[in-house]
Structure 1
Amino acid sequence: MKKAFYFGLLTMLSFSLMSSTCSSDDDGGSPNDNSQQISQIENTVESGTWQITNFNDSGQNETSNFNGYDFSFNSDGSLVATNGSNTMTGTWSVTNDSNSDDDSSSDDDIDFNILFPVPDSNDFEDLNDDWDIVSSSSTRIDLIDISGGNGETDMLTFEKN
């Protein structure tokens, strides 16, 4: 009787240990763990200054509203846009998308968040959003936002100076 009890206990312990060491995914991380990619994007944009080379707001090309502005993405989360005579200050961050009603069908995308505390009539208000990253490199980042209300698409591209 004791042998059967110990055998059963040993079997349960073995299965318990095996199941705790196995992973159900191939990459070894959680499906929403984008920390390495987020860190890489943050390090890239914190280096140097950037300019907007494309801003398409619901089909309207509004890139010229930001001509001459250099954007600095600072490590403290501040975002400064200056064109020599005007300076706009806001915040930025790169985060895992955690908004279930976001515009993306993917639940593991990364958001590039921009916020300038300005009135609705200010051109910089159009940049305020949780943008989805389409692509990024050491010299360019392409962002998109699809409105949840009317389905209109906004495109924003920053290129390194």
Structure 2
Amino acid sequence: MKKIKLISAIIFLFIVTIFSSCSDEDDVAVNNSVDPTPVINTVNTGTWRITFYQDSGVDETSDFSGYNFSFGAGNILSATNGTNTYTGTWSVTSDNSNDDSPSNDLDFNIAFSAPANFTELTEDWNVISYTATRIQLIHVSGGGGGTDYITFEKN
């Protein structure tokens, strides 16, 4: 009987030692994602204009002069200057993957199919900063394609 108690105690100590040597980090999933809701709520109100657009070091802000952008429901993006209206899509998502640097940031996704100067906005932009009246974005192209910047300001 003493032998069984001794073997049971040794097995118990062995199991306790094994489990206590495991790190808590191995068992806990880390979620460092950033909440996109504040940015979404910011752009959903009012109209916006592009006050700065730089494509690989070239200032192309004038391509969007006079256009007001509306980030509407259903992820519909519209740009109008009173004469022309172009429709695209938009979304803001939490990026916690390793597809860009920095990861764990917010991606501001814009897509237009026409005209050519608006298709240049079609990217997964990273949010640099945002306030209630200004949103600054950056896109670093892979393969040495350059860095683009865009700033939207509320009208």
- TM-score normalised by the shorter chain: which range applies? 0.7 to 0.9
TM-score of the two chains, using structure 1 as the length reference: 0.77
Matches of 1:151 and 1:99, distance apart in 2: 21
Counterparts of 2:25 and 2:44, CA distance in 1:
35
Which residue, out of 60, 63, 79, partners 2:61?
A: 63
Match of 2:94 among 93, 96, 99: 96
Structure 1 residues 98 and 108, CA, compared in 2 at 3 Å: closer, same or farther?
closer
Amino acid at match of 2:91: S
Q: Displacement of 1:96 after TM fit?
A: 2.0
Match of 1:116 among 112, 119, 136: 112
**In the superposition, relative to structure 1, how do residues 58 and 159 fare at CA in structure 2: closer, same or farther (>3 Å)?**
same
Identity level (%): 49
3-state DSSP of counterpart to 1:127: coil
Describe the superposition over 1:116-144 as per-residue Cα deviations: whole angstroms up to 9, x where unpaired. 1226xx11011000001110010000001
Q: TM-score, normalised by structure 2?
A: 0.80
Secondary structure of the 1:55 match is strand
- Please name the residue that 1:158 is paired with: 152
Tell me, yes or no, if structure 1 residue 40 matches structure 2 residue 24: no
Q: Which one of 60, 64, 76 corresponds to residue 74 of structure 2? A: 76
Residue type of the partner of 1:124?
Answer: F
Q: Which amino acid aligns with 1:114?
A: I
Pair 1:134 & 2:132 matched = no
The SS at the match of 2:143 is coil
The one-letter code matched in structure 2 to 1:79 is L
Aligned to 2:141: 147
Rg larger for: 2
What RMSD in Å do the two structures reach over aligned CA positions? 2.8
Letter in 1 for 2:129: S
Q: How many residues align?
A: 148
Please list every run of 5 or more consecutive structure 2 residues that lacks an aligned counterpart in the other structure.
none
Query: Any conservation in 1 of the 2:97–2:104 contact (CA below 8 Å)?
Result: no
Which AA in structure 2 matches 1:30? N
Unaligned runs of 5+ in 1: none
Residue 109 of structure 1: CA displacement? 1.3
Give the partner amino acid of 2:79: A
